[in-house]
Amino acid sequence: MPANPMSKAKTVAYLADKCDVPKKTVSSFFDELFKLAVKECKSGNGKFVVPGLARVVKAHRKARMGRNPRTGEPIKIKAKTVVRIRPSKQLKDSLLK
């Protein structure tokens, strides 16, 4: 059975211990990082990079034809904006060794 991912509280506690700073400071850092990522993605360029970890990209999907899996009937899927998170090369190389 796979292990559960670390919760935010456990991540904050781990980083606070490793960096020897208060948990409140680490938690505040994550909150500000989130706000900055949202602000940057909503801006004109639609991208935000967390160095060494990932790139968050706002992307547009075109309208397309799909198929209802239950009936097999063709349906039209509307265009929409989605968020994609792309891992950095450094992260991929470290995980896939």
pLDDT tens, 32-48? Answer: 999 999 999 988 788 99
Ramachandran angles phi, psi of 58, nearest 5°: -90, 120
Helix residue ranges per DSSP H, the chain: 8-19, 23-42, 89-95
Give residue-wise pLDDT tens across range 2-21: 688 999 999 999 999 999 99
Ramachandran angles phi, psi of 5, nearest 5°: -70, 160
- CATH assignment of 45-97? 4.10.520.10
Beta-carbon contacts of residue 64 (< 8 Å; ≥ 6 apart): 76, 77
Domain boundaries, the chain: 1-42, 45-97
Q: Phi/psi class of residue 72: alpha, beta or left (left: φ > 0; alpha: ψ in -120 to 50)?
A: left
